[in-house]
Amino acid sequence: MEFNKHTTRRPLPSLSQNKQFFLFAKNFIKHPRMLGSIIPSSPFLVRRMLSHIDWQRARVLVEYGPGVGTFTREILRQMHPEAVLLVLETNEDFVAFLEQTCPDPRLQVIHGSAEDIQEILAEKGLGAADYVIAGIPLSTLPATTKDDILRSTQQVIAPSGAFLLYQFSPSILPHLHKTFSSVQRNFIPLNFLPAHFYRCSP
C-alpha cells in the first residue's frame, strides 16, 4: 500500500546513529534473548513491512518491542495526524530513550508486555488495533508466553487489520497458522540478520 502524499508528515528530531547503535548493542549484550540481533532493523526491512499499512485508514497502531525506535519514527512520519501509536516495551532503557527522543503527542510509550495488550488498550480507551507491528524474538520465549501473545494479538486486531511480524527464524510459522485465519510469508534478505516477514489476518 503506497503512502498517501496528502497525509501530514511531522518532522522528528535527528538522532545520532552511533548513540542508537551503542544503546541497542549494550542492551543486546545484557539481554540477547529479548532483542535477537545486535543492531537495529535495516531501512529496507522497515520500508517493506510498513508498505503493508493503509495509512489513510489506520487510526490505532500498536508496536511491540520498539527498542530505539527504528520502526517507531517511520510509523510516526507516515501515519495519519489523528492516529495513535501505542508502543509496548519491557526494557526501561528503551522506554526512557523513546520518551526523550520521540516527543510526538500521537505516541504513547508503555513500559509493559505484549501479553497485556488487551488490558492496555482497554485502559487507554482505544478500540481494536488496525495494525500491530512486531519484531520481538518470539522463538526465544516460553511456549505458553508465545501463544499468549499471539492469542491476545489476534483478539485485539480489527477484522480488516493485520499483524505485521518479522523474525530471524521460521519456527514461529506453525504457531501463526494455529492462531490466525490467514498467514502470508515473505523473506527479506537485505537485513542483518536476514528476516522472515509474516502478514497475519485475524
- Go through the domains of the chain in sequence order and give each one's CATH number: 42-201 (3.40.50.150)
Query: Do 37 and 85 form a contact (C-beta atoms < 8 A)?
Result: no
- At residue 38, the pLDDT reads 44
**Which pTM does this prediction carry?**
0.81
Q: What is the pLDDT of residue 129?
A: 98
Q: Which pLDDT value is given to residue 197? A: 95
CB 138 within 8 A of CB 183: no
Name residue, grid cell 527504528: 70
The pLDDT score that the predictor gives to residue 189 is: 83
Q: What is the DSSP string of 40-71?
A: PPPHHHHHHHHTT--TTT--EEEEE--TTTHH
Which segments in the chain show pLDDT lower than 50? 1-15, 28-29, 31-32, 34-39
Q: Which of 64, 72, 91, 71 is nearest to 145 (CA)?
A: 64
